């Protein structure tokens, strides 16, 4: 009875040892033969659209030489390739935005193995170049002496943008652009004229010039015209002063305000007496604008015509 038990124990032990060992009929190939354990580190790559990129070289177990292949054209356009001898996966700069899960087949003389979704490439929308710049309205009208600013332009692309004008539209820098908003400003002393403003918008991707993006029209203002005696001063003084100030009739020194020479010589007194309303006597005072016109005539150089 004791012997039987020992035999049974021996058989059980033998069976146990046997079952734990490898299949003696079909032993698996040694680990260093068939391709196994393909590994990319890192296992993914993120690219901005327009940029090419590549994976690192993978590690793998198995008999060398090893050759690698991707499933045929994973993106449908041939922009993803694998180096058949190193296993490095490359994406061209044309690879479209999207996520690509790549399966790699590794082969050697002992066989081949496919590693499903072993590497992921994600292409994100990168920086978009500036495009379609427009000002609405696309013209800016003012008169000399009045400053004005445009609206900010609308445009497509990835901000931030930097704006500049291609050239100085008025050649004097009186028309300028805000480099961060694209708002075009016209200074009070911009000269009369029509200006075509070409704007260049730039971002980290590229820059683009939009010819004639904005038209600036500066119309003549009253302040641009040079005040002259004949055109401006004589008519005013004849109307308000000539009833008395004609040669020899009035004034301590017989000033004749119809004459250029007299008026020019006495301009300081004319300004003083009209500004403090001593002249003309009575209530027919000159308006502030009229006094200012005489002052401007002086500033403009006391021109006769
Ligand atoms: C109603 C007549 C009358 C009118 C109109 C008149 N003046 Fe006179 N003005 C006089 C008389 C009179 C004097 C001389 C006063 C004096 O000698 O003190 C004089 C003197 C002056 C003087 C010299 C003052 C000085 O300090 O030496 C000036 C300058 C003058 N007038 C400017 C004007 C101007 C400019 C007008 C028109 C906007 C005007 N006058 C209109 C009568 C007039």
Pocket flag, ligand 1, residue 251 (CB < 6 Å) = yes
| pLDDT band with cut points at 50, 70 and 90 for residue 3 | low
Pocket flag, ligand 1, residue 266 (CB < 6 Å) = yes
Contact partners, residue 227, CB within 8 Å, separation at least 6: 233, 293, 296, 297, 300, 303
- Global pTM reads 0.40
Q: Cβ(81)–Cβ(57) under 8 Å?
A: no
Domains 36-124 and 131-222 share a fold: yes
Pocket flag, ligand 1, residue 279 (CB < 6 Å) = yes
Best residue among 245, 246, 286 to mutate for probing ligand 1's pocket (most ligand atoms within 8 Å of CB) is 245
Give the residue from 296, 145, 143, 144 showing the smallest Cα distance to 227.
296
| Average predicted confidence (pLDDT) for the chain | 87
Pocket flag, ligand 1, residue 19 (CB < 6 Å) = no
Pocket flag, ligand 1, residue 274 (CB < 6 Å) = yes
Spell out the CATH class of 36-124.
Answer: mainly beta
Category of 157 on φ-ψ map: left (φ > 0), alpha (ψ -120 to 50) or beta: left
Return the ligand 1 atom nearest residue 272 CA. 29
**Count of C-beta atoms within a 10 Å radius of residue 295:** 15
Domain ranges in the chain? 36-124, 131-222, 226-299
Over the stretch 48-75, which tens digit does the pLDDT of each residue have? Answer: 888 999 999 999 999 999 999 998 778 8
| pLDDT band with cut points at 50, 70 and 90 for residue 252 | low
| CATH number for the domain running over 131-222 | 2.60.40.10
Over the stretch 270-297, which tens digit does the pLDDT of each residue have? Answer: 999 999 999 999 888 998 889 989 999 9
Q: Could you tell me the CA-to-CA distances from 254 to 226, 248, 249, 291 in Å, in that order?
A: 28, 5, 7, 22
């Amino acid at each position: 009875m004791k012997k039987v038990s020992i035999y049974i124990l021996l058989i059980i032990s033998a069976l146990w040892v046997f079952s734990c060992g490898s299949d003696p009929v079909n032993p698996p190939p040694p680990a260093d033969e068939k391709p196994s354990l393909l590994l990319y580190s890192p296992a993914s790559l993120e690219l901005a659209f327009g940029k090419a990129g590549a994976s690192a070289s993978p590690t793998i177990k198995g008999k060398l030489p090893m050759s690698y292949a991707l499933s045929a054209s994973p993106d449908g356009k041939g922009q993803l390739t694998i180096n058949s001898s190193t296993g490095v996966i490359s994406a061209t700069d044309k690879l479209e935005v999207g996520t690509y899960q790549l399966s790699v087949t590794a082969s050697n003389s002992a066989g081949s193995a496919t590693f499903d979704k072993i590497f992921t490439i994600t292409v994100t929308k990168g920086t978009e170049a500036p495009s379609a710049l427009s000002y609405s309205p696309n013209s800016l009208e003012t008169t000399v002496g009045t400053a004005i600013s445009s609206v900010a332009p609308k445009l497509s692309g990835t901000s931030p943008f930097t704006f500049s004008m291609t050239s100085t539209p008025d050649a004097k820098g009186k028309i300028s652009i805000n480099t961060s908003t694209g708002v075009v400003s016209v200074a009070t002393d911009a000269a009369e004229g029509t200006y075509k403003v070409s704007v260049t918008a730039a971002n980290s991707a590229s820059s683009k010039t939009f010819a004639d993006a904005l038209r600036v029209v500066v119309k003549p203002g009253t302040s641009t015209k040079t005040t002259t005696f004949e055109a401006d001063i004589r008519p005013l003084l004849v109307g308000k002063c000539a009833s008395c100030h004609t040669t020899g009739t009035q004034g301590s020194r017989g000033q004749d305000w119809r004459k250029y020479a007299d008026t020019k010589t006495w301009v300081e007194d004319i300004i003083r007496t009209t500004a403090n309303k001593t002249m003309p006597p009575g209530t027919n005072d000159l308006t502030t604008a009229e006094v200012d016109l005489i002052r401007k005539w002086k500033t403009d150089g006391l021109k006769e015509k």
